[in-house]
Each structure stands twice: as structure tokens, then as C-alpha cells.
Chains A and B, each alone.
Chain A
């Protein structure tokens, strides 16, 4: 407890925070977080509408496995995470096409992936500190090469999402009519899983594999509470994700607490606030329509 009080007392030490902001590794972490916030903010409302929260979790676990493997053989952790997440997306897409099966497939795959990841970490003789950060995130590990890779991957995901956006939205919110109008649902589902997998892998560095849902799911869940417009929901979700990602890093600098603690706290705080606002909004709307029909 003393440690926590100590950390909190330093949280608003602006001098220290400012000093740390001068370091390149901090700036790189902020860039990485900004790219991640943008991508996850754009995808989150679709993830929530398609009920894919658990799939994101499963994908993140396999991204962790990939990252652990990369650490063992000595290649870029981001590349390893990307490989693991893409493998997960393909596996989940292949095994769980049927709705009623998806849930259990994810459960089976993610537990195995996590187990393999633990084994890989155990086999790794050195850098114990790095191992823990794969699960909970740590900004010091972000190199400038990583930032380039993150930025490139983020750009690819954003461009593909923009080109597919209307059919993706149609298939997510109104699958029956979308199918009737010729939208290829069977193709869009694995493609979207790949996009989500890529974005999830990017999150491993910043918030860690276990907590990536704080950026991939929570901002979208919060946004759709306060608006029914898909465009507004996307904009809000991006703002929420950026606030959580960048805000989390800034707050964690001076106290030296793991980034993910702050990112998840900010994200959850926004979610609670939006639920409260959303509750009042629905009350007002239902009262309004009741009055109109009365």
C-alpha cells in the first residue's frame, strides 16, 4: 500500500513528467499509442456490434504467444505478436464459422495458446522483466523500428477498413438484408477478423496482451451507449481510445506504474460515464415517444 501511496503522490509531478517526455523512448511510445488508439477506436464499435469481445480476447492471447516466441528466437516482438494474432484470426475464422460454436472454439484455442506462451517464456533464459511486460504492457520496449512497423500496419488496417466500411457495417447491423443484397458475409467475417487481429497485435506493446480489450472493446461499448449514429459512434470511440491510450501513458510516467493500469482505468471511467449518460438518454427518448403516441 505504501508503494501505491508513493506512486500516487508522484502522479501529478509535472516536472518529472515533462522531463521524461524529452526522452525518445517516451515519444516513440506516445506515437505508438496514438496509432493504436486510432485503429482500435475505429474498429471498436464494429467489434461490439458484431459481439466479438471474446474473440478479441482470444486473439490477444495468441498475439502474446507469438510475441513470446519472437522473444525466444530474438526477432521483433511486434512481428511475433502480429504473426500470432493473424494465426488466431484465421483459426477462429476457420473453426468457428457457426455462431453457436464460436464461443467454445475461442475458449479452447485461447487457453492452449496461453499455455504455449507460458512454456515459451519459461524456455527463455534471460530478460525476465520483458516477459511480464508482454502480458501487461510496457512502453520502454518500443523502438523506432517498432513505431514504423506499428504506423505502417495501422495505416493498412485503416485504409482497408475505409474501403470495406459500408458492407462491413451493413453485415454487422443488418445481416439478413445485407445477405439478400449480395454482401458476401462469408468473406467479410474472416477479413474483419484479420483487421482486428492486426490491431490487437499492435496493442501488445502498449497495454499488453491481457488488457488490449480496454482499447479494442471498451471505447466502442461506451460510444454506442450515447449515440445511435454509426459515424458519431466511430468518432467518439476514437476520441475515447486516444484519451485512454495517451492519457494512460502520460499519467504513468512520473509514478512509474505500468501503463496498462492507467489505460484501463481511464477507459473504464469513460465507459461508466457513458453508461450513465446513455441511461438518461434512453429514458428521455422512450418518454418522448410515449408522449408522442399518447
Chain B
């Protein structure tokens, strides 16, 4: 299956109408195995187009609340099209990192750039996917409305002009995640997986350069977790957007992850899953004995506090 120009990270495909991809299981699997088999890390691919700035760039970044330092000396470049998983125990500053990129929380020290521009509030180059629970019982909105708000919900004015173009873009976004069938159904009546599909469309409709995902798989059934993470990865590669994916559970995204940022108690490691997710690195990060094992293609992290904290439910905007 051809993934289109989006695979070549750094080149930005225009709005080429792609054939509708029906998200049936076999195809989903094909995409995942295709992504798994990629040998070249995206950093090398980007070398082809040196003119495009990193999608996200942090330099000497420090974030602290009073005496408490969440992280410091963070240098990070996320290349266009890269999928970065952000892991770490509760309170390690994963969600705060997203807020820094969104421009709603200022850095204590250092600089942050999105696609070459300093981060700022209301950045149109960023799409955002929250946890699924936020839509749980909303009966006053339909999928098409949700996606439409992702396009122009932050704009002032009546928005009466350009309604036809708006409707087309909303429809395209719904079609790209295969959600047209239930676009007119009240959101509260949809399954968690269907709601998150709509969230992906909502985040992508404005054609962002960076997708920020804050635990989008939380409270989803395991079967939906793989589908939704596969969908996010596929859509991001199609549009050339980078993904920063905050999660406490790496396994559902392991097949699509390029690099991992692991935050623990002010320290961090960045690298490929193999470089970071091993006993030695995590033991060093946590400062205690942590065992990482591969069991049937899954990573199992065993280590007293680390493991416990991993599975504690983390609140969204705390």
C-alpha cells in the first residue's frame, strides 16, 4: 500500500485528494507492518530537504513551579513527519510539555519554536487530541460540528462567508478518518473509538504541522487503542505532520513510534524505543532497579515505583 508523499518526511504534500482508505483490519495491519519495517529513521530522510525547520524545537528548556523542577536542559528537535512518544510517571511534566508547545504555559528558561516560529497561544500550526472521556455524554453536538470547531472554532466573527469551503474541508477530514457514516449522530451515542476518530479529524482539519496528543488512548478498549494509534500515525504521515504522543502505555503505539522522550523526576532520555526502553537506561533514569522485557512483541516494564506510577490514571489539565 502506498502511503503517499507523507512518508518522505519533510516534503509537504498539498491537499492531494487521496483515495478513501477504508480502515478495515487487514489494511490497518498492512500499514502497521509497513511502518514497522521502515529502516531509515526520519532524521536521515529530512536531510533531503534541509530548508524545512524542525516541527518542534526546544533549546535549553527548563520548566519549574517554584522549587520543583519538572525538566531542565531539554534540547529536542522533532523533525517533520516524526512520531515521538512522550512517556514518564505522573507529575513528570508530560502534559506541561504540551502546554508549553501550545503557548499556554511559558518556559521558565530556554526557547521553544514550532515550525520555526516562537510558540504562542492559538497557534494554527498545531492540532490537539485530548482524552476520549471529554466527549462521553455530549448530546448537543455532532461529529461534523466537532470537526468544524477544530477548523474555525477559535475565530471571532459570524463566519457566514466561506461556508461552502468550510463544509468541504470538514467533509474531507471526516472522510479521511472514515467517519462520514456517523458524522450526524450525537457524539454521546458513539463508541469511544468512533469519538477518537472524530478527534483525529478535528485535529487534522486545519492541516497542522504538529499533532499534540494527550493520552488519546486512555479509557479505550485495547482493540480500539491499536486502531486509533494506527490512524493517528497514518494520517500524520499522509499530511506530513509530526506527532508528540503523551502516553503512559507505550505498547499500543510501539509499532509506529520513531523516538521516545522519557521524563522522570527532572531527568530525561531521548532516543529510539530500543535505546530508551531497556533495563539499563530506565534503571538509570529512575535511580532504581527497573527491568524491561519483551514478551510476545510487547514491552513489559517491571520496577517497583515505576510500574505502579505508570498505571495510575493521570488527569488532563492539572
Binding site for B on A (CB under 8 A): 45, 48-49, 162-167, 169-170, 173-174, 176-183, 224, 228-230, 233, 282, 285-286, 289, 292-293
Is B317 within 8 A of A179, CB to CB? Answer: yes
Smallest CB–CB gap between A184 and chain B, Å?
8
| Contact partners of A174 in chain B: CB under 8 A | 134-135, 141, 146, 149, 153
Q: Is B152 an interface residue (CB 8 A)?
A: yes
- Other-chain contact of B157, A49, A163, A170, A286 (Cβ < 8 Å): A163
The contact string, 1 if C-beta is below 8 Å from chain A, for chain B 139-167, is 11110011001101111111100000000
Nearest A-chain residue to B199, judged by Cβ: A177
By a CB distance below 8 angstroms, the chain A residues around B189 are 282, 285-286, 289
- A-binding residues in B (CB < 8 A): 102-104, 121-123, 126, 128, 130, 134-135, 138-142, 145-146, 149-150, 152-159, 181-182, 184-187, 189-191, 202, 212, 316-317
A183 interface neighbour in B154, B181, B186, Cβ under 8 Å: B154
**Bound-complex Cα distance A285 to B189 (A):** 8
Question: Are A229 and B142 neighbours in the complex by a CB distance under 8 Å?
Answer: yes
Q: Are B186 and A166 in contact (CB under 8 A)?
A: no
A169→B153 contact, CB < 8 A: yes
Instruction: Output the least CB separation between B147 and chain A (Å).
Output: 11
B154-A173 in contact (CB<8A):
no
Q: Is the CB of A167 within 8 A of B155?
A: yes
Q: Which of A45, A179, A180, A292 has the most CB of B within 10 A?
A: A180
A180 to B153, CA, bound (A): 11
- From A179, which residue of chain B is reached at the shortest CB distance? B104
User: In the bound complex, do residue A166 and residue B152 qualify as a contact, i.e. CB atoms below 8 Å apart?
Assistant: yes
Is the Cβ of A181 less than 8 Å from the Cβ of B186?
Answer: no
CA distance A292 to B182 in the complex (A): 10
Number of A-B contacts (CB under 8 A): 105
**Given the complex, which residues of A lie within 8 Å of B153, measured CB to CB?**
166-167, 169-170, 174, 178, 181, 183
Determine the chain B residues whose CB is within 8 A of the CB of A229 once the complex forms.
142, 145
Chain B residues within an 8 Å CB radius of A179? 104, 317
Chain B minimum-CB-distance residue to A285 = B189
Q: Which 7 A-B pairs have the closest CB atoms?
A: A182-B122, A170-B153, A228-B186, A180-B128, A181-B154, A182-B121, A224-B140
Would A167 and B154 count as touching, CB distance under 8 A?
Answer: yes
Which single member of A45, A163, A173 contacts B156 (CB below 8 Å)?
Answer: A163
Would you give the shortest CB distance from A87 to chain B, in whole angstroms? Answer: 27
B128 cross-chain contacts in A, Cβ below 8 A: 177, 180-181
Q: Is the CB of B142 within 8 A of A289?
A: no
CA distance A146 to B52 in the complex (A): 62
Distance to closest chain A CB from B56 (angstroms):
15
Chain B proximity of A6: nearest CB distance (Å): 43
- Nearest CB of B to A67, in Å: 33
Q: State the CA gap A293–B155 with chains docked (Å).
A: 37
- Given known pairs A177-B202, A289-B185, the reply for A170 and B149 (CB within 8 Å) is yes
A151 to chain B, nearest CB (A): 21
* A286 CA / B149 CA spacing, docked (Å): 25
Query: A49 with B121: in contact, given A179-B317, A289-B189 (CB under 8 Å)?
Result: no
Cβ-defined contact, A285 with B185, below 8 A: yes
**Which residues does chain B contribute within 8 Å of A48, judged by CB atoms?**
140
- A162, A164, A233, A289 — most chain B CB neighbours (10 Å): A289
Chain A residues contacting B126 (CB-CB under 8 Å) are 180
Please, which residues of chain B bring their CB within 8 A of the CB of A285? 185-186, 189
With beta carbons under 8 angstroms apart, the residue of B121, B149, B316 that contacts A169 is B149
Contact of B123 among A162, A182, A233, A286 (CB under 8 A): A182
Select one of A163, A165, A177, A224 contacting B150, CB under 8 A: A177
Q: Which residues of A contact B146 (CB under 8 A)?
A: 173-174
Closest approach, in angstroms, between the C-beta of B144 and any C-beta of chain A?
Answer: 9
Who on chain B is nearest to A165 by CB? Answer: B158
Known contacts A163-B158, A178-B153, A181-B128; is-contact A230 B104 (Cβ 8 Å): no
- Minimum CB–CB distance from A218 to chain B (whole Å) comes to 15
> In the bound complex, how far is the Cα of B182 from the Cα of A177, in angstroms?
21
**Could you pull out 26 A-B pairs where Cβ atoms are within 8 angstroms?**
A165-B158, A166-B152, A166-B154, A166-B159, A167-B154, A167-B155, A167-B156, A176-B130, A177-B130, A177-B149, A180-B102, A180-B128, A181-B122, A181-B154, A182-B103, A182-B122, A182-B154, A183-B153, A224-B140, A228-B141, A228-B142, A228-B186, A228-B187, A289-B190, A292-B181, A293-B191
